[in-house]
Chain A
């Protein structure tokens, strides 16, 4: 997690600096705002990863506090890990699902309604709702099979 978080925090710091320089050179709002947004885009998830990186090392918060359990480094971050170190279920992957398709088509119809008339929004909206309900139910069942 360390490199991941360094990478994102680096993004944040870089755009923080660029935003400051740009703002004080130009006082132009649109660009300034977007650069600040970009800075946050790096900083926020970067700090999150950094938090977990520290937590894995046994620090409760970033630099203070202690946890009981030291998880250590993930196998994918250890240069000497063997494949066996990562054995086990990685994650649950759905075997197949019709809902993404239905959701996508619902969004398609919904956006077309902005062009061709509100009546399409009824169709698109209800398809989207169905899909959302469907995909939630499917996830709670634990996938299709």
Chain B
């Protein structure tokens, strides 16, 4: 039933356009390659690299989660003695740094995207497989470098994940841990840049025939936009870090201000560095970075909602343009993290930040529209995605508040902000990320994850999440600053802090269920089949796990959900909805019945071209 073509005689390692019927062994050279550890080290297969990324990132997530528990234990009592001030400062720095730089980003664009994007567009691999492998090794090296900080005598870095100068200059934080932190980010920064290049090139050059840009799944679209954002943001960070390192060791005065404080009068502008410069550079990276961490997860849930509602994604094009506008605006809002510096253009950054609410709102309504009148099936991936919706809704609403400078003035750097960014980051990276893991796990390993354990994981996580972070909003409004290891006892903050700690332990428990689930699926495998969810996109057309170079054959691609069109020729997408009543599929649905079945007539017929976005 597929568009089968004869395999051209390709030589060497050349990947063929999928053909050759069901012959999975079209590439014999994979059979006599190295094995074991050597195979892993020499691999250039995007699937293996993607998996390595994901396993490393999830391991780092567990480590950073343990650090968070340490933070929470310290804060259960006003003058906590669980750890010292110095250890506390290291803990929140490393917790934030690992979560953001080593988990949330790499899990999405190094892990899932690496695995899924080539599959979704029908490509045999990433465009630059060796560069892809290099990305992973740089990431592994960078992660190791960052963790090495704990092994040095001064301990790990302790200047916060933002490393504000001049606190991050050698006068105030002279330690080795800080240097390692900088080098870790240089390594992982290059790794991210290479991955960004690779994603963009793959999406531009390796799409299957008929997979036009406006037929790409939303996840792939989001990864393309993320790739561009990476290319905008990460070089700035790397440059800023190099200058910071120069300040620390080579005596430059780019950010450093030692010896030119202003108590006795105006500073000598030539001798002094600028503390605000670091903030400008850092946040020019940092705010796009938070969307680099969010857009992939938006993409994941946008794959999941349609599949588990048995409907196409609502407002496909609106979704694409919303992604683009979010990314574009996010690069013009960096200084909303600097409202209280008193040195930035408040109205410009405030308006740009508020405007991001618009495309985000569009996405929300599209997600709701996708579920509307669907047939919703609550498997774990869907539950996680719904958890994401609620979490991000709350985080988004408080984000709009923070975009208003007069409000930001009194909640900035309090626990209100901690609660806000956890609702968006945790909402996307954890609910969205693990939704993706539950969703694509069957494809990656050919076996299912247990749904009952998954539900336990979800409900504990969901409840724990709200119990942890809602009290933090209130604490923030009461004026509890972030990054404090102790607080005055008489202010009545303890009970809310205890609640937050209890929530954190619920979250931690929920992640034991995930481990249990991995174990169960390893020990008692339940075969998944090629397409266990009756999903829409191309990756579910191939075997689970996919063969080397991914496809032996492909269906005709006539919409953004070729696999669905192939399996459900009776239910094509209705492109123009509206109040026109229960419609016949009136020719608007170009479906991919590659064998020329009705309606639409088959390849190349006029019917099949209708309603297709122009390219």
A residues adjacent to B (C-beta < 8 A): 2-4, 7-8, 10-11, 14-15, 18, 21-22, 25-26, 28, 30-31, 34-35, 38, 41-42, 49, 73, 75-101, 103-105, 107-108, 111-112, 114-115, 135, 142-145
Contacts and interface: CB of A to CB of B under 8 A. Distances in A.
B332 interface: yes
B335 interface: yes
B556 A103 contact: no
A103 B137 contact: yes
Contacts of B208: 76, 83, 86
Given A92-B12, A97-B42, A114-B245, A83 B29 contact: no
A139 to B, nearest CB: 9
A interface, over-half SS: helix
Contact of A81 (B8, B43, B209, B228): B209
Contact of A83 (B45, B209, B249): B209
Contacts of A77: 212-213, 615
21 contacts: A15-B331, A25-B348, A41-B232, A76-B210, A77-B212, A79-B210, A81-B557, A82-B209, A82-B603, A83-B556, A89-B15, A93-B13, A96-B39, A98-B42, A100-B131, A101-B42, A104-B136, A111-B145, A111-B186, A114-B245, A115-B183
A105 B39 CA distance: 17
Interface residues of B, number: 98
Contacts of B137: 100-101, 103-105, 108
B209 A100 contact: no
B183 A114 contact: yes
Contacts of B575: none
A108 B13 contact: no
Contact of A30 (B8, B280, B612): B280
Contact of A87 (B19, B132, B187): B19
B410 interface: no
B133 A97 contact: yes
Nearest to A88: B8
Contacts of A76: 207-212
A126 B327 CA distance: 40
B348 A22 contact: yes
Nearest to A45: B200
Interface in B203-255: 204, 206-215, 228, 231-232, 236, 245, 249
B245 A143 contact: no
B274 to A, nearest CB: 9
Question: 9 smallest A-B Cβ distances: which pairs?
Answer: A104-B137, A108-B141, A75-B209, A100-B133, A86-B209, A76-B207, A81-B209, A79-B612, A83-B3
A112 B556 contact: no
B527 interface: no
Contact of B17 (A22, A88, A143): A88
A75 B14 contact: no
B183 A86 contact: no
B231 A18 contact: no
Contacts of A108: 137-138, 141-142, 144-145, 187
B130 A79 contact: no
B448 interface: no
B608 interface: yes
B280 A89 contact: no
A105 B141 contact: yes
B5 interface: yes
B210 A81 contact: yes
A86 B210 CA distance: 9
A83 B17 contact: yes
Contact of A100 (B44, B204, B604): B44
Contacts of A26: 344-345, 348
Contacts of A94: 13, 44, 129-130
A89 B17 CA distance: 6
A90 B41 CA distance: 25
Contact of B554 (A7, A83, A107, A145): A83
B332 A73 contact: no
Contacts of A103: 134, 137
A96 B14 CA distance: 12
A31 B348 CA distance: 12
Contacts of B17: 83, 86-90
A36 B227 CA distance: 19
B34 interface: yes
Contacts of A83: 2-3, 5, 17-18, 208-210, 553-557, 594
B332 A82 contact: no
Nearest to A109: B141
Contacts of A104: 133-134, 136-138, 140-141
B306 to A, nearest CB: 21
Interface in B128-175: 129-134, 136-138, 140-142, 144-145
B312 interface: no
Nearest to A42: B228
A91 B44 contact: no
Nearest to B558: A79
B213 A89 contact: no
A52 B475 CA distance: 57
B316 to A, nearest CB: 14
Given A86-B209, A100-B137, A115 B176 contact: yes
A122 B61 CA distance: 34
Given A18-B332, A30-B277, A99-B130, A112 B183 contact: yes
A18 B613 CA distance: 29
Nearest to A115: B179
Nearest to B285: A34
B582 interface: no
A21 B180 CA distance: 39
Nearest to B45: A96
A97 B44 contact: yes
B317 to A, nearest CB: 12
Given A94-B129, A96-B39, A108-B187, A145 B210 contact: no
B30 interface: yes
Contacts of B207: 76
Contact of A80 (B187, B284, B608): B608
A14 B328 contact: yes
Contact of B134 (A4, A8, A100): A100
A15 B329 CA distance: 10
Interface centre among B19, B29, B130, B232 (most CB of A within 10 A): B130
